[in-house]
Amino acid sequence: MLLEDMIKSNNNLVKESLEKANKYQEEYNSFVTIIDNANNDKDGMLKGIPYGIKDNFSTKGILSTASSNILKNYVPFFDATVYEKLNNAGAVCIGKTVLDELAMGGSGTTGHTGAVKNPWDKTRLIGGSSAGSASSVALGIVPFAIGSDTGDSVRKPAIYGGIVGYKPTYGLISRYGLFPFACSLDHVGIFTRSVKDVSIVLDTIKGYDEKDMTSLKVETPSFYENINSNVKGKKLFYIKELLDINNYKDDMDEELVSIFDNFKKSIELCKELGMEVSEVSIDKRLLEAVFPTYFAISCAEATSNNSNLTGIIFGPRGEGASIDEIMFDARTKGFSELIKRRFVLGSYILQKENQEKLFLNAGRIRRLIVDKFTELFKEYDALILPGSGSVAPTFKSEDIDKLSDRYLLLENHMAIGNFGGFPSISIPSGFVNNMPIGLSLTSGVLEDQKLLDIAYALEGKMEYKGQIAKGDN
Amino acid sequence: MEYEVTIGLEVHCEVSSATKMFSKGINGYNEIPNSNVNQVDLAFPGILPTVNEEALKKGIKMALALNCEVPDVLMFDRKNYYYPDLPKGFQITQSKKPIGTNGYINVYVGDKVKRIDIVDIHIEEDTASLDHYDTYSLINYNRAGVPLFETVTAPCMHSVDEAIAFLDALRKIFLYTGVSEARLDRGQMRCDVNVSIAPVGSNVLGTRVEIKNIPSFINVKGAIIAEIERQKEALKNGEEIYQETRRYDENDGKTYRMREKVDGVDYKYFTEPNIPPYRISNELIEEVRNTLPRLQFERIDEYVNKYEVSLVDAKSIVKEKSVADYYEEVIKLGVNPKIASNWMANTVLGYLNKEEKDINDIYLTPNMLAEIIEMVESNKISSKQGKDVFNKVLEENKEPKVIVDELGIKQIANEDELRVIVNEVLNENMNMVEQYKNGKNLFNFFVGQVMKKTSGQANPALANKIMKEEIDKRWK
């Protein structure tokens, strides 16, 4: 059932949701914590609607681990603004969902409570970092879930899970209470099974927050009430270099051919809706720079943002003869090797002798990319691209070549939305090898309504709205 | 060999404000330890900084007071390092765009004016305070996040006196502007001192040594003297001066090495992403400028050069803004500024110091003081009577006129009336007059007799004049 229908329903949705959550937990590992006695007396738009929230949001009195050992026993005493707003709207949080440790990662396999499995095929991952939020929506446990998106951490797992994943314009939703990964890139995001449902949740959690200076002081009309499938005359573009088969010579396989075919069909649907679709060429070097730029900025910010995790004020206290040793011990035991690797890189990138070359240059490239797309969004209403270069990988997949074009171009373009704070949405567009694939749509800053309209119209031309993975296959 | 000393200062001052620099936590460092802390101050996961506008305005105010340029955009940076007194693992400060740059202030060093160049003043947050014991340490997070302004001077001071004069002047600016209570006893002002020495006439500065975190001016003085002596001694013995950070031990008056290379720590500064660039409008700057009081140096300059007040008196009057304001009130009432300055510097400040009172807490208003001075100046009462009235007003909390009436004091300033009394005295003391004629100095005795006869009400100057005239008459 979609969120929109649930709002009109009288069933005990929370009870059903909790039953499903518990039923699927062992197999799919969506949750760090299932809140079995979940309830909420408040009346509002979302009264009685169950949902899940990523375990890197601060929830008063409820364990909030960020899927890391260093926070495995951490129970906050204050609420994230998003959580508070959902509570005030009557929604019922039934669980805290698993993520890649501290939201760093794209596989959903690095959380301290184990890997999250893809509801469409248990041998495959769902992607991350908002893995549990994606799987809980894909499994039909909850009609919506909250995630966070720093590079594509909501939109990518949405593609792999065959659901809708959205991140708004930077600043439209308060980040207060979201454990930071890379604050200049972090966005609160929403998972649902329809575009309209995104607009309902967005209406509930959007808005200026005096606790977050980067939240925007703009009044936006109700996205739900204004959503409109008449997109005739809207202008879309895709990037030539990303869809040029010649760029993937050695990497080309049937799967990618099918993904491209699906994309072409989607373009036809756009045209049927009366939209124009253009091919735009962008300097390939700029596109190849997206991932390294993202990595440099995010690691640098992350190493600073996570410097509060020392076990002195909260978290497991380390052992040692001096204060330095105590902090060192807590951090050594508290983080996995992958996280330490990112911190070391981030620290290296920020070092005085490297900062100009690595950190500040990354900032400059980010600016070039943002300027380029801001300019394009003046001419075009949205960017449309395939959501990924493959279906969800299996757990046994060999390490991907991170310097291949297929990886650099097709698997990382979503970070452009984070660089510029552009609103961006993933919607399902079909299946390849029985696994869901999808489309990525991105618009200019504060053009969230237009983006949702285009996604809503496209969704209406396809048959994947509301789809739920079987869960027991 | 003769050496020239060069000193630069970095002064941290805690700012008075209702809340902390980047949180809504109460700025109340001296209350029960760890009672004024919230999730932001303790850096719990998910918190975000919010800029305290009151403190921001105070930052602009100080920047203007130090004649600094104020940037058009407000930005903050992170200074990253691990220490338990720093909950976030970084301090939010300003490295790229301080709230004020390229300023200066003029200060009096003795009777000479010295210009001190200000490199910058920047806004940051204080750390928690740590108390170390033998086997454990205690942390008080009340101070974590308290607004802190750091003022950095150029290496432009060349003596201990100049350094102390600057510190004192800077402290006065904090007090005059109301930006800080600048209480040294509570460690609200702390100082890092950079000292180098070089042979006189050398155009290259010597190697800079930093002495960190000195809590009082007396210790700043001690530290500079000790460090100059140490460096001179080292050079005399052919040793090299290392660029390093030292600490000053007030117990033995010596400095000790803490770590090598002042710039050895890499704080990995980068722009704070959670505070978007904030435009500082000209309107805001002007709004703040309008709240800026006239500062100490400007007032001394006016008192001395316009009012011909002595530098010593001017300096005592401006020591506290409330006293200087009081003085200016008195002048506004039409009292001669020079005469008013004598009263202020001697009588009023003498009383306040003796009684350890604040000028705002005494009964005597500027109006009353002006009234007393007027009575003395117009010879209605003698200056000694003026002092008596002053004291009685403060003792009995009654207006000067009432005191004058109650004491029945008035002054005999009528020449004819006084001449009669003078002659009475001389007639009653004929043999003394004889002795006077024979060379015994009894003039003051005769005047004293006049004062006695008039119960002190004779105008002394006039009594003197008439006495002299009458004796001279008899002399002939």
Q: 3-state SS string over A362-375? A: HHHHHHHHHHHHHH
Please say if A174 is a catalytic residue: no
Mutate to test the interface with B, among A150, A170, A313 (most CBs of B within 10 A): A313
Residue among A130, A133, A135, A153 flagged as catalytic: A153
> CA of B135 to nearest chain A CA: how many angstroms apart?
10
Residue B196 is predicted with a pLDDT of: 96
Task: Please give the single-letter amino acid code of residue B445.
Answer: F
Q: Which helix (H) or strand (E) holds B213?
A: strand B209-214
**A197-206, A211-220, A396-405: least confidently modelled range:** A396-405
Mean pLDDT computed over every residue of chain A? 95
Helical H segments across B408-476, by residue range: 415-428, 430-437, 443-453, 460-475
- ipTM metric: 0.96
Q: Of B265, B271, B51, B49, nearest to A301 (Cα)? A: B271
Length of chain B as a residue count = 476
How many CA atoms, within 13 angstroms, populate the side-chain half-sphere of residue B429?
Answer: 20
Catalytic residue, chosen from A129, A136, A194, A390, is: A129
Q: Please give the structure tokens belonging to residue A388.
A: 């990924």
Subunit contact B84:A76, Cβ cutoff 8 A: no
3-state secondary structure of A400: coil
Most confident of the ranges B128-137, B201-210, B322-331: B322-331
Chain A: give the shortest CA distance to residue B44, in Å.
7
Q: What is the pLDDT of residue B224?
A: 96
With 50 as the cut, is the pLDDT of residue A257 above it? yes
Tens of pLDDT, residues A65-111:
999 999 999 999 999 999 999 999 999 999 999 999 999 999 999 99
pLDDT tens per residue, range A114-138: 999 999 999 999 999 999 999 999 9
Q: Are strands B3-14 and B112-125 parallel, antiparallel or unpaired?
A: unpaired
A360 contact partners, CB below 8 Å, separation of at least 6: none
> Do the chains contact at B48 and A359, CB–CB below 8 Å?
no
Nearest residue on chain A to B43, judged by CA atoms?
Answer: A308
Is B46 within 8 Å of A214 when comparing Cβ atoms?
no
Percent pLDDT > 90 in chain B is: 73
B chain contacts of residue A309, beta-carbon cutoff 8 Å: 45
Residue A57: strand pairing partners: A178
Distance CA(A91)–CA(A280), nearest Å, equals 43
Contact B48 A300 (CB under 8 A): no
Of the candidates A74, A175, A184, the beta carbon closest to that of B48 is on A175
User: Distance between CA B185 and CA B30 in Å, rounded?
Assistant: 12
- Provide Rg for chain A, Cα atoms: 21
CB A159 within 8 A of CB A125: no
Q: How far apart are CA B110 and CA B192, in angstroms?
A: 24
Q: Is the pLDDT of residue B370 over 90?
A: yes
Q: Which residues of B touch A181 (CB under 8 A)?
A: none
Supply B368's token pair: 């009353």
Q: Count CA atoms within 13 Å of residue A396 on its CB side.
A: 3
Q: Is A249 a catalytic residue?
A: no
Kind of pairing between the strands at B147-153 and B3-14: antiparallel
- Given this model, what pLDDT does residue A29 score? 98
Specify whether the CB–CB gap between B92 and B125 falls below 8 A: yes
- Between CA A288 and CA A108 the distance in angstroms is 24
Contacts of B33 by beta carbon, 8 Å cutoff, 6+ apart: B138, B140, B142
Share of chain B above pLDDT 70, in %: 99
Least confidently predicted of A223-237, B250-264, B386-400: B250-264
Judged by CB atoms closer than 8 Å, whether chains meet at A314 and B273 is answered as no
Pairing of strands A276-280, A235-239: parallel
Per DSSP, the three-state class of B284 is helix
Tell me the C-alpha to C-alpha distance, in Å, between residue A51 and each of A47, A132, A133, A342, B126.
Answer: 11, 12, 9, 31, 41
Q: What is the pLDDT of residue A250?
A: 78
**Cβ <8 Å between A71 and B45:** yes
| Inter-chain residue contact B84 with A180, CB threshold 8 Å | no
The partner residues of B113 in beta bridges, in order of sequence, read B108
Q: Tokens 């909030």 label which residue? A: A64
Q: ∠ CA A350-B74-B145 to the nearest 5 degrees?
A: 70
For residue B263, the model assigns a pLDDT of: 62
Q: How confident is the model at residue A183 (pLDDT cuts 50, 70, 90)?
A: very high
Share of chain A above pLDDT 70, in %: 99
Where would I find the H helices in B52-159? 53-65
What angle do the packed helices B400-407 and B383-396 form, to 10 degrees?
110
Rounded Cα distance, A403 and A426, in Å: 24
End-to-end CA distance of chain A: 20
Helix axes B430-437, B443-453, angle to 10 degrees: 150
* Other CB atoms within 10 A of residue B454 CB: 16
3-state helix, strand, coil in chain A (%, to 5): 40, 15, 40
What is the mean predicted confidence (pLDDT) over B100-113? 96
Question: In this complex, do A313 and B87 lie within 8 Å of one another by their Cβ atoms?
Answer: yes
Average pLDDT of the segment spanning A336-341: 94
**What's the pLDDT band for B476 if we cut at 50, 70, 90?**
low
**Other C-beta atoms lying within 10 Å of the C-beta of residue A252:** 14
- pLDDT of residue A473 exceeding 50: no
Please check whether residue B311 is in contact with residue B300, taking contact to mean a CB–CB distance below 8 angstroms. yes
Six-digit token string for B453? 């006869």
> Is there a cis peptide before residue A129, judged by omega within 30 degrees of 0?
yes
- Six-digit token string for B462: 């006039």
| Average pLDDT for A329-336 | 96
**Residue B84 at interface with chain A, using a CB cutoff of 8 Å:** yes
With beta carbons less than 8 A apart as the criterion, state whether B13 and B151 touch.
yes
What's the pLDDT at A472?
Answer: 53
A313 closest CA partner among B85, B190, B229, B304 = B85
- Please say if the pLDDT value at position A399 is more than 70: no
At B106 the three-state DSSP class reads strand
- H-run or E-run covering A231: none
Q: What pLDDT score does B463 carry?
A: 86
E strand map for A129-184? 144-149, 164-167
Average the pLDDT over each of A332-346, B47-61, B382-396, B401-415 and give the range with the smallest value: B401-415
A317 token code pair = 């206290």
A153 is catalytic: yes
pLDDT band at A439 (very low <50, low <70, confident <90, very high): very high
Question: Which of A175, A179, A327 is the closest to B82 by Cβ?
Answer: A327
Cβ contacts of B453 within 8 Å, gap of 6 or more: B421, B424, B425
Query: Two tokens at A189?
Result: 């995001």
Q: Which of A210, A304, A310 lies at the smallest CB-CB distance from B78?
A: A304
Q: Give Cα separations from B32 to A39, A77, B35, B36 (angstroms).
A: 38, 21, 6, 8
CB contact set of A199 (below 8 Å; sequence gap of 6+): A222, A223, A224, A227, A452
